[in-house]
Structure 1
Amino acid sequence: MSFKFGTIFITHVFGESHGTCVGAVVEGCPAGLTLEERDVQEELDKRRPGKGPYVTPRNEMDTVAIESGTYRGVTTGAPILMRIKNKDVDDSVYERFTQTPRPGHADLTARAKYHGHHDHRGGGIFSGRMTAALVMAGAVAKKVLAMHGITVHAHLVQMGNVRVRDDLSDEEIKERPYTNPFHCADEGAITPMRETLERAMAARDSVGARIECRVCNMPMGIGEPFFDSVESVVSHAIFSVPGVKGISFGCGFDAVTMQGSECNDPYVVRGGRIVTEKNDAGGVLGGLTNGMPIVFDVALKPTPSIGREQRTVDLATMEETTMTIEGRHDPCIGIRAVPVIEHVTAVAMADLVRRASL
C-alpha cells in the first residue's frame, strides 16, 4: 500500500469516502509562506459536490481545518495536516456490492487485495471523494510554485464528442474555466456539452471527458532523469486520480503520423531568450523542462456508476446476475476532475522544483 507521493515535497492522504474525514499531510513545505484556511478553502470549493445539476447531489460543505504546520497564518516548516469531515453519507445502497461487484469499480479487485476487510462504503479509498485530499495538498503546492512565478491551469476540452475550439488564448484558459459549471474555457462549447450530458442523464448513463493542463513559467532544466523525468512524475501523480485512463504530452499520439521535420520544435530567440517556435514537445525534452509551457491532456472514463442494468456475478453463488446502481453520482466525472488534475499537477511540480533546490 502507498498513501504518500513525493521525495522532498511529500503528500500523505488519509480517510475514506464514508469514514469520519478525508485529509492530507504535507511535508517539505518551506517555512514562511502565507497559508490560511481560506486559501485552501477557495481551492476546495472548486471541486465540492452538490453545487449544480450536473454533479453528484451529495452535499458536503468540505470546510477545511488546518491542524498543524502553520502559526498565525504562516507555514512553520513542520508537517501541515489538513482535513475535512464527511457528513452527508448514505451507506444503505453499498452493502449489496460486497456480494455483487459493480462493473467498472474496484469492488472485486479490492476484495482480492484486502481479503474482504476494506471499507467498501462509497468506494472507500477508491472513491473520487479522496481527491479532496489531493486538492488540499495542491493548494499548498501552488503556494510553493508561486514563489517562483509558476502557475498551473486546467480546463475541460472535451465531453463525449463535443470539443472546444483549438484557438483558445492563454487568458481564456486562465480566466474562464471556473466561471461556468463545466469548467470549460470555450463559451461556445457549453451548450452542446450541456445537451450531451442531459441526453446521458435521460438514458441513465454517463459520458467520458478530456482535460488539458498547462504549467507556465517553469525554468529550463527541471526534472530528474532517469526514472523521475517530468513526464514520469506527473503521470505517476495523475494516475492517482480515479477514472484516469490516459495521458499525453504535447502532440502526444499524433506524433505517430508526423515526420521528424513536422514534430521537431525549431529554436528561435525572442526577447533575448531561447524558445521554441511551437510546442509539440509539450514543454519537455529528455525528461527535462525546456522553458516552454508544460502541456498535457488527461482522458477520463465515463462514470462507472450508472442507472442502467448491467451484468455482474453473485460471489456467494458464483452465478451470473444483473444489477442496477442507485445512489448519488456524477454523470461526468470530468467536470469536477478539472480542479483535481490542476492540483495534483501542482503537487508533482512542487516536488520537482524542491528537488531542483530552487
Structure 2
Amino acid sequence: MSHNTFGHLFRVTTWGESHGPAIGCVVDGCPPLIPLNEADLQPWLDRRKPGGSRFVTQRKESDTARILSGVFDDGDGPVTTGAPIAIHIDNEDARSKDYGEIARAFRPGHADMTYQAKYGVRDHRGGGRSSARETASRVAAGAVARRILGDGIVIRAGVVQLGPHRIAPDAVDFSAVYDNPLFAASAGVVPAWEAWLDGVRKAGSSCGAVVALEVTGIPAGWGAPLYGKLDAELAAAMMSINAVKGVEIGAGFGSAELSGEDNADEMRIGPDGGIVFQSNHAGGVLGGISTGQPLTARIAFKPTSSILTPRQTVTRDGTETDLRTKGRHDPCVALRGVPVVEAMAACVLADALLRHRAQIG
C-alpha cells in the first residue's frame, strides 16, 4: 500500500490499523532546536480522543503519545535534532468481535468494497487502515507542526452546521468550540443541537456536518504557483480526512453568485503604510499565495456510514444481503474531525513555511 506520506519538506508518514497493537507517525523535515516533548502533543490528542461524551464513539482510548526518536535533551530540556520524529500511540480498547458480521459483507458507504477490489484483502476489524482511528497520528503530527509555526499563527476550527442546522456567519465564535461536547462554534446553539443529535443517536442513525476553519497570523507570500498553491494543498489535505466530501476556500461556491464588483477584495493603504483589504472573499489566498489575511475554509463531512438501520449490500462471494453495522460509532464523525482539520492545516502551513524559506531565504 503506497501513499501513506504527505508533505514536501515537512513530511508525515502515518502507520498502523484501527485494531492493531498501535498506531503512529514519523515526522521528517522538522528543523532542529525546537523545544518538544510529549506534553506538547497530548493536549491536542485529548481533544480528538474517543469517549469524551455521549455524542461520540464510546471506545476508550487514552491516546497517550510517546516520542521514540528525533528529540534529545542535553540538559536544557528536550529539543528536536533534525532527525525523523517517531511517535507511538497504543490501541487499548479494540473490540474486534463487533465486526465479525462484516468479515464477508461490504458495509455501504465504507471503503470495504474498494479496498477489496484494489488489494484483494482487507482488514475488516474497524476498517483497518481506512478507519478514522488513523487520524490520531495526524493530530500528533499537527502538534509538531504547531511548534514549528509558533504562537503567532492561530489555527481554529469548529462545527458551524450540524445536519440542517446552521450557525449564522456573524455568530461564529471559535472560542466556544472546546467548551462544548459538539465542538460547535457558538455556545448558544448547543442545547438545541444536543437535543436534535440525541434523537439521531437514539434512532441508531447519523448526520453530516460542516466544519469552518480560520487561520490568522500567516504573512503574505506563502504558497507557490502554479502547482504548489497554498489553497490547493490545503484542500487536498482536508479531502484526505475520513468522511470529507467537500472543501471550499473563502466564499467558495458562494462566489458563483457574486458579481465581479462584489467578489473583488478591494485594497487601501492602512495607517501603518501596509495594504488593508476591504473584504476576504478569496479566503486569504490569491494565485495560490497567501495575502496576509485570515485563511478561511469550510469542510463538509458526510454522515457516519456505520448505522443500525439495515442497508442493502453484497458479500465477497456475490450474494445480496442486508447489513446493520454494530459496534461503537460516532453519530456525527465531524465532531471529532475538528481537531483533525486543525492538525492538517498546521501540517500544510508548516510545510509552506519551510518551502517559502527555502526559495526566498
Q: What is the TM-score with the length of structure 1 in the denominator?
A: 0.96
- How far the C-alpha of 1:321 sits from its partner, in A, is 1.3
Does residue 148 of structure 2 align to residue 165 of structure 1?
A: no
1:232 deviation in Å? 1.3
1:135 matched to 2:139: yes
Query: What secondary structure does 1:356 align onto?
Result: helix
- Identity value in percent: 40
Q: After superposing the two structures, state which structure 1 stretch, 124-133 or 69-78, moved more.
A: 69-78
Alignment of 1:204-283 (within 5 A): 204-272=204-272, 273-283=274-284
Map of 1:6 onto structure 2: 7
Q: How far apart are the structure 1 equivalents of 2:200 and 2:171?
A: 27
Quote the offset at 1:95 in angstroms. Answer: 3.2
Picking from 109, 121, 125, the partner of 1:121 is 125
- Residues 33-61 of structure 1 show CA distances to partners (whole Å, capped at 9, x for unaligned) of 11110110111000010111110000011
* Secondary structure in 1 matching 2:48: coil
Distance in 2 (CA, whole Å) between partners of 1:165 and 1:328 is 32
1:54 aligned residue: 55
1:330 aligns with 2:335: no
Give the aligned partner of residue 179 of structure 1: 179
C-alpha distance in 1 between matches for 2:170 and 2:92: 43
Equivalent residue of 1:68, what SS? coil
Once the two structures are TM-superposed, the CA of residue 203 in structure 1 deviates from its matched residue by: 1.8
Unaligned runs of 5+ in 1: none
What is the aligned partner in structure 2 of residue 155 from structure 1?
158
Partner of 2:192: 192
**Aligned-partner Cα distance in 2 for 1:156–1:179:** 12
Deviates more, 1:188-197 or 1:283-292: 188-197
Q: Matches of 2:288 and 2:269 in 1, distance apart?
A: 22
- 2:202, 2:147 → 1: CA distance? 42
C-alpha RMSD of matched pairs (Å): 1.2
2-structure distance, mates of 1:99, 1:37: 40
**SS of 2:87's equivalent?**
strand
Deviation of the 1:166 alpha carbon: 1.8
| Equivalent position of 1:86 in the other structure | 91
Look up the equivalent residue of 2:35 and give its one-letter code. Answer: T
Residue 79 of structure 2 corresponds to 74
Aligned partners of 1:275 and 1:291 also within 8 Å: no
**Residues 118-141 of structure 1: CA deviation (Å, up to 9, x unaligned):** 322111111000000000000000
How many angstroms does 1:320 deviate by? 1.8
Distance in 2, Cα, partners of 1:110 & 1:271? 57
Question: Amino acid of the residue matched to residue 160 of structure 2?
Answer: V
- 1:352 is matched with 352
Q: Tell me, in whole angstroms, the C-alpha distance in 1 between the residues paired with 2:306 and 2:332.
A: 10
- Once residues 169 and 270 of structure 2 are traced to their aligned partners in structure 1, the CA distance between those partners, rounded to angstroms, is 24
Deviation of 1:83 (Å): 1.2
Question: What letter is aligned with 2:84?
Answer: P
Mapped to 2, the partners of 1:248 and 1:314 lie a distance apart of: 36
Post-superposition offset of 1:81: 0.6
What do residues 146-175 of structure 1 show as CA deviations (whole Å, max 9, x unaligned)? 17x222111111101111232246xx42x2
4+ residue runs over 3 A deviation = none
How far the C-alpha of 1:217 sits from its partner, in A, is: 1.1
**Could you tell which deviates more after superposition, 44-53 or 233-242?**
233-242
**Comparing 188-197 with 102-111, which one deviates more in the overlay?**
188-197
**Equivalents in 2 of 1:346, 1:310: separation in Å?**
38
Which piece of structure 1 moves more, 33-42 or 95-104?
A: 95-104
Q: How many residues align?
A: 352
Amino acid of the residue matched to residue 306 of structure 1?
I
2:99 and 2:326 in contact (8 A); partners too: no
1:109 and 2:114 matched = yes
- State the 1:96 CA deviation: 3.0
The secondary structure found in structure 2 opposite 1:53 is coil
Q: Secondary structure at the match of 2:233?
A: helix
* 1:91-147 per-position Cα deviation (integer Å, ceiling 9, x unaligned): 11223323210000000100011112x322111111000000000000000111117
Asked if the contact 1:162–1:192 (Cα under 8 Å) also holds between the matched residues in 2, the reply is no
